[in-house]
Amino acid sequence: MKKYQLGEFEEIVILTIAVLYKEAYGVSIKKEIETRLKRNVSMGALHTALVRLEDKGYIKSSDGEATEERAGRPKKYFQITALGKRAMEYSKDTRDELWSAIPKLSLNPKIVGG
């Protein structure tokens, strides 16, 4: 099994990109995360994560249209690559494995020790 390096925030970003499907670009990703997770996302952190993900080959970018709101600057749309999909699955699988290995008692605070 290969090792897939995926930080916590990177994972969220890549998941959001998957959620947004063909609509994933800087601002939309930011808004989506902020809406769903109710946490503030700074442009700096976001773009850094996007650059890193792209360098690792987990996402790829393509040019989008320019709009009025962006003063004529184009958008950059992101998509998940096959490698990225595998990374996401690996991450999900490892989490699930860990979850299923938790004994019932560990998470149930009802039984009080003496």
Residues near another protein (CB under 8 A) are: 25-27, 30, 42-45, 47-48, 51-52, 66-71, 73-76
Nearer to another protein, 36 or 95 (CB): 36
Q: Which is nearer to another protein, 71 or 98 (CB)?
A: 71
**Shortest Cβ distance from residue 44 to another protein (Å)?**
3
Alpha carbon separation from 24 to 12, 13, 15, 42, 71 (Å, rounded): 13, 10, 11, 16, 19
Beta carbon of residue 76, minimum distance to another protein (angstroms, whole number): 4
Round to whole Å and give the CA distance between 37 and 4: 24
Alpha-carbon gap, residue 17 to 96, rounded angstroms: 21
> Nearest distance from residue 110's CB to another protein, in Å?
45
Q: Pick between residue 25 and residue 58 the one whose CB is nearest to another protein.
A: 25
Residues constituting the chain: 114
